[in-house]
Homo-oligomer: A and B are copies of this chain.
Amino acid sequence: MEAHSLIKDAGLKLTPRRRAMIAHFSLSSGPLAPVELHERLKAEFPRCGLPGVYRNLEALADCGVLFRVAGFGRERRYALCSQPHHEEHHHHHIICISCGRVGQVEECLYQEGMMIDGFRLVGHLVQLRGVCAPCAVKESEGSG
């Protein structure tokens, strides 16, 4: 599994807890907040506290397994990178508002150096929401 080698390569350990966290993200429809993940982990790891969840979320985000989702107001949320990269590879994500599926956007419409409104672009944060193909099909079936 790709995620596991990312962890190893970062010099981190593949612990039962981290395996479980990744599994929960795989099963989850949509990004998870630390408390939500904690809720789900408690069944299997009754002694697991929130601080540990925070630590692991950050560790997994740092090594590229997860990414930090913006655009949920002030909430902190994470989701699985669908195609994790080892390098600090610039890419964005699009999240299906219906099922939570994550798509990876390799080519951003905003590129460094572009002139925008008289400013030379040097950085950007983009978080997209959309409807994925399977959900679009379901939508049209439902209404048609």
Chain A residues within CB distance 8 Å of chain B: 70-71, 74, 76, 94, 96-97, 103-105, 109-110, 116-133, 136
Contact = CB atoms under 8 A, between A and B. Distances in A.
Contact of A125 (B122, B126, B130, B132): B126
A3 to B, nearest CB: 20
Nearest to A110: B109
Interface of A is mostly: strand
Given A70-B71, A116-B105, A126 B126 contact: yes
B109 A133 contact: no
For the complex of A and B, list the 6 residue pairs with the smallest distance between their C-beta atoms, beginning with the closest: A119-B130, A109-B109, A71-B125, A123-B129, A103-B117, A125-B127
Given A124-B126, A128-B123, A128-B124, A117 B136 contact: no
Contacts of A105: 116-117
A4 to B, nearest CB: 25
A42 to B, nearest CB: 24
Nearest to A104: B117
A133 B70 CA distance: 29
A47 to B, nearest CB: 27
Contacts of A103: 116-119
